[in-house]
Chain A
Amino acid sequence: MPNLLKIGLVALSIIVSRPSASVAQSGTTQYKCMIQMTNYMGEKAYIAVSLMNGKGTYEKTLYVLGSDKKWYPDVKAWYKALGKKTPNLSAITGASVAGGDRSVIVLEIDNSKLNKDYKLRFESAVEDKEDHAKDLEIPLTTEGLSAKSEGTGYIRYVRFSPNSPN
């Protein structure tokens, strides 16, 4: 019995002492992500952040910046692949971003996808302006998530940092 207790305590201590906060119990990691916009003129941009697999197909919506569903069809590629099928986006929805502004969001990414030929895609759309299906794509690697990545459309750059409260 004492052995069993010991094993139990060790097991418990292992569980408790696992790296805190950044790795949640479900096997996902939270990344703080800053999107800095260019100084374009026009309405606020709608941006969809999606997880893409190696074949270049959409797998999951990670975040949507822009709360009015009326404009979702403007984010064309994402809307066609995921947007209209995803019923409840409200938990991963934030405000749209204006030219020159920045937005800081938290992305929750499945640990199993890291370093496995997945990509993060940022698609941006502005009313009555060109839509950028691949404004920015970042390989989902430890390296990719630590660098500053330049956008090609309305996004100037995206930066990540591990979400470490306090």
Chain B
Amino acid sequence: MTISVWRYSHLALAVSSFLLLTLASVTGIILAFEPISQKMQPYRVDAVSQLTLAQTLPVLKKSFAEISELSVDANQFVQIKGSDADGKNLTAFVDPQTGKSLGIPSPQSEFFQWITALHRSLFLHEAGRFFIGLTAFLLLLITISGTMLIIQRQRGVRRFFTRIVRDNFAQYYHVVLGRLSLIPIFLIALSGTYLSLARFGLVGTEKVSPNIDFDAIQAKPERKLADFAVFQNTRLADVQTLEFPFSEDVEDYYTLKLKDREITVNQITGDILSENRYPTAVLLTNLSLDLHTGRTSAIWAIILAVASGNILFFIYSGFAITWKRRANRVKKNNYSADESRFIILVGSENGSTFRFAQAIHQQLLKQGEKSFLTEFNNYTVFPKADYLIALTATYGLGDAPTNATRFMKRIEKYPQPHPVRYSVLGFGSHAYPDFCQFAFEVNQLLARQSWAVPLVDIHTVNDKSPAEFGLWAEAWSQQTNLPMPVSGELLKAPALPLETLIVTSNTKTAQPDGTFLIRLRSKHSQEVTSGDLLALYPANDHRERLYSIGVLDDELQLSVRLQPGGLGSGFLHALTPGETVHARIVSNDHFHFPKKAPVVVMIANGTGIAPFLGMISQNKHRTPCHLYGGFRYRASFDVYRDFLEESRSVQKLTDLHLAYSREGEKRYVSDLIAQDADFIGNILVTNGVIMICGSLSMQKDVIALLETICQTKTGKSVSFYQSHSQILMDCY
């Protein structure tokens, strides 16, 4: 929730100040070149950093008829004011070592004068100064809210400078450059704000006149200028100005202004008459001027120019991001929520998930279906809905995106009047630790609703992968018998050519529940891993059937249950060894055997055991594996028994727990898990991985059970482990 507060204020501040900010940045860039051009003038003498006033003053006095003031500017150019031998007014840069005149200061160029006035006051005097000051303050707030957004995006201050996930050009560089120029921009804004406050007298910078006791002024002992202790101890580089006594009267004195104080000095004895430290407000004003103008350092001036340039880029990219986000919002629906059969819910922070939702929506409309697309927060009762598709991103630490924050409450408030088949599709990036966590939570939440019927297992899409989106589309299409061709825009990868596979064996139906095993060998040894999917086109049309692959002895083994009138299962059942099949191997990375897990728990029911058979067979490193299997009859398991017993004897499988639902104690695999709750909880705590494959109803039970186990044993939720790839699922 807080994310949106910062984002809205960041945007609102930017909108309200961008015109003046643009003007201030452009003029600021130009003004940065003033100190740079000044520093290139040849009036700086290196000796200025070592010489003291006591060394310089006698030299200068000898060279110039009359000096009224000596000043050392931000460029460390030494300048004197006075009069020349003819008594005319004189201002000159001098060499403090030799007393030679180096040149006459030229007045500030009219161009820079003009730009400075525009930058400070827009030529509007007091009103202009106020608006510029306000703009500086708004920039300060923008910087702060931007920093908060980066901290939230990066999940914490300590990860502030870690990698940024690239969404698009504007977003990526807005964040990258934002981090880099954060400090200079913050200083520009802060010093600008302070200078405005000082200008309007809101911080006390009033001057204090020296308080001199004229009755106590001594005219003796007379000392030479070079012997004045205070001048001997003052380096020229520390001097701002030295005002010379107006006349030779003993009551006229030297006024020495240093960076932090003002000292008055008796012109005859060299005694200090008074010393005033400047108030902090004055020191801060000077520091702000140094920081805001870059007058003391050419390098800092360049940094300021670059930072100002960045502000212009932020204005551009910030609005580009906003336009994009707006453009991706829900457009007008053709059908109302009340009449639609298909409901598409979208949870999106920056709008990219909308593209996918729109693709689905348009596809359904094209097929003449009534489809309604809306944000999660608009969830309500959908009286005619048969299908619910929930697409969502995750934001922050596994939180809901801004437009999905109210979903949790609304789903309890608006139960659907009749069963709705749902499917959840999560969008995210593995670059973040909480991959698709909110999608997992939505999936769990839906699973608990009595009206909700799972249609296909939750799918995730990493970095907008068209292939992964395609995987969901295929699965969904298979269940609904509605074509869901993924448009070329989303699916850039060309459809892979079909693979030719030769049937090597087929057990045919031997079990009462119709389960059989079929093995295929690829003609070309293609890269395939247990957990991948085999896509078959039994009728040579758009209808696709997906089967989980177990790789055993370099062959693809499928475990299939013959369904009465089943298109895919009937086709496979009829195959005999030697026959060839055309199919496609679909990589299914999220359900591969984990490479690093200390221990793996496999939970399957029925034919869901197929990928696990392959994984166990390939478990060369002897990673401890615990298999929990649920079957209808003891006989259903017979096809796997020999292989698993053998695997156990060579430690590829650690142990085996079985439940039969239609004979004996009539138990389900979830009962086995409930029994071993402590063990399962411990697996998750010690970074073990739980893999689930089988029917969606089994998955629903097991996940509900795991939720309880997690809450009580680990204090975290299932979605946490799902998003951290410790609970992997592939169900149908």
Contact = CB atoms under 8 A, between A and B. Distances in A.
B65 interface: yes
B125 A106 contact: no
A108 B160 CA distance: 66
Contact of A106 (B88, B201, B207): B88
Interface in B75-118: 81-83, 85-89, 91, 107-108, 113, 117
B69 A104 contact: yes
A93 to B, nearest CB: 8
A105 interface: yes
A67 interface: yes
B650 interface: no
A159 interface: yes
Interface residues of B, number: 28
B126 A128 contact: yes
Contact of B246 (A22, A68, A106, A159): A159
A60 interface: no
Contacts of B243: 102
Contacts of A161: 246-247
A99 B207 contact: yes
A99 B207 CA distance: 8
Given A100-B207, A100-B209, A165-B65, A70 B117 contact: yes
Contacts of B89: 92, 94, 105-106
B201 A41 contact: yes
A25 to B, nearest CB: 11
Given A32-B83, A106-B87, A41 B117 contact: no
Contact of A21 (B87, B107, B206, B208): B87
A97 B88 CA distance: 20
A165 B125 contact: no
A97 B299 CA distance: 30
A102 B68 CA distance: 10
A150 to B, nearest CB: 14
A157 to B, nearest CB: 11
A104 B65 contact: no
B66, B85, B108, B113 interface centre (most CB from chain A within 10 Å): B66
Contacts of B201: 41
Interface residues of A, number: 26
Given A70-B117, A104-B246, A106-B83, A165 B66 contact: yes
A161 to B, nearest CB: 5
B207 A68 contact: no
A22 B85 CA distance: 11
A109 interface: no
A53 interface: no
A128 B117 CA distance: 14
Interface in B121-135: 125-126
Contacts of A104: 68-69, 81-82, 246
Interface in B189-203: 201
A103 to B, nearest CB: 8
A165 to B, nearest CB: 4
B113 A165 contact: no
Contacts of B86: 24
Interface in A1-56: 21-22, 24, 30, 32, 34, 39, 41
Contact of B85 (A32, A68, A159, A165): A165
B65, B91, B201, B246 interface centre (most CB from chain A within 10 Å): B246
Contacts of B85: 165
Interface in B310-358: none
A100 B255 CA distance: 12
Contacts of B83: 30, 32, 106, 163, 165
A9 to B, nearest CB: 26
Contact of B65 (A24, A39, A67, A166): A166
A141 B491 CA distance: 97
Given A41-B206, A104-B81, A68 B113 contact: yes
A105 B247 CA distance: 13
A127 interface: yes
A129 to B, nearest CB: 10
Contact of B66 (A94, A102, A128, A163): A163
Interface string B171-183: 0000000000000
A165 B82 CA distance: 10
Contacts of B91: 94
Given A34-B246, A41-B206, A159-B246, A67 B107 contact: yes
A165 B68 contact: no
Contacts of B107: 67
A21, A30, A70, A165 interface centre (most CB from chain B within 10 Å): A165
Interface in B206-252: 206-209, 243, 246-247
A65 to B, nearest CB: 11
Contact of A163 (B69, B87, B108, B206): B87
B77 to A, nearest CB: 15
Contact of B87 (A30, A41, A94, A100): A30
Contacts of A102: 243
A39 B66 contact: no
Contacts of A94: 89, 91
Given A41-B201, A105-B89, A166-B65, A128 B206 contact: no
A93 B113 CA distance: 17
10 A-B pairs closest in CB distance: A100-B207, A104-B68, A165-B65, A30-B87, A39-B207, A128-B126, A34-B246, A163-B87, A67-B107, A161-B247
9 contacts: A34-B246, A39-B206, A41-B205, A92-B89, A104-B81, A106-B87, A106-B88, A166-B65, A166-B66
Interface of A: 21-22, 24, 30, 32, 34, 39, 41, 67-68, 70, 92, 94, 99-100, 102, 104-106, 127-128, 159, 161, 163, 165-166
Given A41-B201, A163-B66, A163-B87, 12 more contacts: A24-B86, A34-B68, A34-B246, A41-B205, A68-B108, A94-B89, A94-B91, A100-B209, A102-B243, A159-B247, A161-B246, A166-B65
